């Protein structure tokens, strides 16, 4: 039998009624002849509640016990989904990560998947089971302890299962009906994309689009897993949702596919740093050791042996970043005159595989922002992306202006 992976996010399984609705969708696929692996998240809000309990109990918590607690939300959903399917007359069984087993590293709360042996589940399929309901977000370490994959890890679980079982497709059911050219809450002209390339989706996910977790897209691209993003709350047809696939499967696309944004950005500048070989390593080494997620980096032109080094990071990491560079200064690793942190910025990006073969995208982007009186603080580019840091108060205006400038409401 062909295998299909279906993943349901927290809003899709938030209540028993929604679990029943999701189970009916699973039943439709079983009726088509699929063996189905269902990956479930915890019911909406449950993981946050569990994390809160851990933090209230033990502010400096043991990460192993943190994983034991926060992974329990998915166990509840998996069991309930299996029960509902059984009530529908569909042979189903719930599986926790350790039962599969989904083998991971020992990095608690941020584990990475190492292997998913398919034998146990395939044996049950051979014995007549039609649906394996697997608790997402969790696995088991080499030491036999429960691990979790980080927030949003159920997407990664689903893609990993699709790869391990050579599934025909991996359907991600969520509260939106696909991937849009930008956030519909910001631009009323946002258009749902029928298809999007893995690379574009990866850029959009990493730049702030919340539809799919970045690691899940990386995994899908590496193993060629076809992903489809669908809404749990709308009737489905063969053309519903957005298919995330290889670039070769997209016949024609716009030069720019989407506009992404990240609101929670900070711009940090080390003023008057010694301009010498190895200074970048001296600065970003301590930041890496402190777990700071550095993104955009710009070094100013050197004057009299001194330079300014600017980088961006998430706003919730500013305090740790400040502590890391100040300690590096105290230890004599680096020397700078001052540290300036601007926590009122946002990152806005345009993304598109068509940028590889078309010129003038940067010029059009900068002209559109200039026409709205929006000043650009930092610019970075890649083969299919241009990102800028701007004042946060202009973020929505910038997104709307860029969406209009590239006419993203029109299909290719």
> Would you say 47 is a known binding-site residue?
yes
> Would you say 180 is a known binding-site residue?
yes
CA distances from 50 to 44, 56, 83, 137, 157 (A): 12, 10, 23, 14, 20
Q: Which residues contact 313 (CB under 8 A, 6 or more apart)?
A: 265, 266, 268, 287, 292, 293, 294, 295, 321
> Would you say 175 is a known binding-site residue?
yes
Q: Give the residue ranges of DSSP H helices in 194-261.
A: 198-206, 214-223
Nearest residue to 76 (alpha-carbon basis) of 40, 30, 130: 40
Which helix (H) or strand (E) segment is 54 a member of?
A: helix 46-57
Say which residue the tokens 């189905």 belong to: 36
> Would you say 237 is a known binding-site residue?
no
d(CA 2, CA 32): 10
- 205 exposed, middle or buried (CB, 10 Å; 0-12, 13-18, 19+)? buried
> Would you say 74 is a known binding-site residue?
yes
> Would you say 185 is a known binding-site residue?
yes
Q: Which residues contact 277 (CB under 8 A, 6 or more apart)?
A: none
d(CA 369, CA 397): 9
Q: What is the CA radius of gyration of the chain?
A: 23
> Would you say 9 is a known binding-site residue?
yes
Asked whether 54 and 61 are in contact (CB, 8 A), the reply is yes
> Would you say 8 is a known binding-site residue?
yes
Nearest residue to 114 (alpha-carbon basis) of 126, 124, 130, 102: 102
> Would you say 155 is a known binding-site residue?
no
d(CA 392, CA 293): 19
> Would you say 176 is a known binding-site residue?
no
d(CA 305, CA 307): 7
Bind-site residues for ATP = 7-10, 174-175, 180, 185, 210-211
| Binding site members | 7-10, 47, 74, 174-175, 180, 185, 210-211
Q: Which residues are annotated as a binding site for substrate?
A: 47, 74
């Amino acid at each position: 039998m062909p295998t299909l992976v279906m993943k349901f996010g927290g809003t899709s399984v938030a209540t028993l009624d929604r679990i029943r609705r999701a189970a009916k969708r699973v039943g439709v696929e079983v009726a088509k002849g699929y063996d189905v692996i269902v990956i479930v998240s915890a019911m909406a809000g449950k993981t946050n509640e569990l994390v809160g309990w851990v933090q209230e109990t033990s502010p400096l918590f043991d990460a192993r016990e943190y994983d034991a607690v926060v992974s329990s939300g998915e166990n509840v959903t998996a069991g309930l989904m299996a029960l509902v399917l059984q009530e529908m007359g569909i042979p189903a069984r719930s599986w926790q990560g350790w039962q599969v087993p989904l083998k991971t590293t020992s990095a608690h709360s941020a584990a990475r998947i190492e292997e998913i042996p398919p034998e146990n589940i395939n044996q049950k399929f051979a014995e007549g089971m039609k649906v394996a309901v697997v608790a997402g977000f969790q696995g088991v370490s080499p030491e036999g302890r429960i691990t979790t994959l980080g927030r949003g890890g159920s997407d990664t679980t689903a893609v990993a299962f699709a790869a391990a079982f050579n599934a025909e497709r991996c359907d991600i059911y969520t509260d939106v009906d696909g991937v849009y050219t930008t956030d519909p809450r910001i631009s009323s002209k946002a258009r749902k994309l029928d298809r999007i390339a893995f690379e574009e989706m990866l850029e959009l996910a990493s730049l702030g689009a919340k539809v799919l977790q970045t690691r899940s897209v990386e995994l899908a691209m590496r193993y060629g897993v076809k992903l489809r993003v669908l809404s749990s709350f709308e009737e489905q047809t063969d053309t519903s949702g957005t298919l995330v696939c290889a670039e070769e499967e997209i016949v024609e696309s716009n030069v720019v596919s989407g506009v992404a944004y990240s609101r929670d950005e900070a711009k940090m500048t080390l003023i008057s740093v010694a301009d010498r070989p190895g200074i970048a390593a001296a600065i970003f080494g301590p930041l890496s050791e402190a777990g700071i997620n550095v993104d955009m980096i710009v070094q100013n032109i050197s004057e009299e042996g001194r330079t300014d080094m600017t980088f961006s990071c998430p706003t919730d990491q500013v305090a740790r970043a400040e502590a890391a560079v100040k300690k590096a200064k105290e230890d004599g690793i680096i020397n700078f005159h001052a540290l300036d942190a601007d926590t009122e910025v946002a990152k806005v990006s345009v993304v598109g595989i068509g940028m590889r073969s078309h010129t003038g995208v940067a010029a059009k982007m900068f002209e559109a922002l200039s026409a709205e009186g929006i000043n650009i603080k930092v610019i970075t580019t890649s083969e299919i992306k241009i990102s800028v840091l701007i004042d946060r108060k202009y973020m929505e205006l910038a997104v709307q202006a860029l969406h209009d400038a590239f006419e993203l409401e029109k299909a290719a």
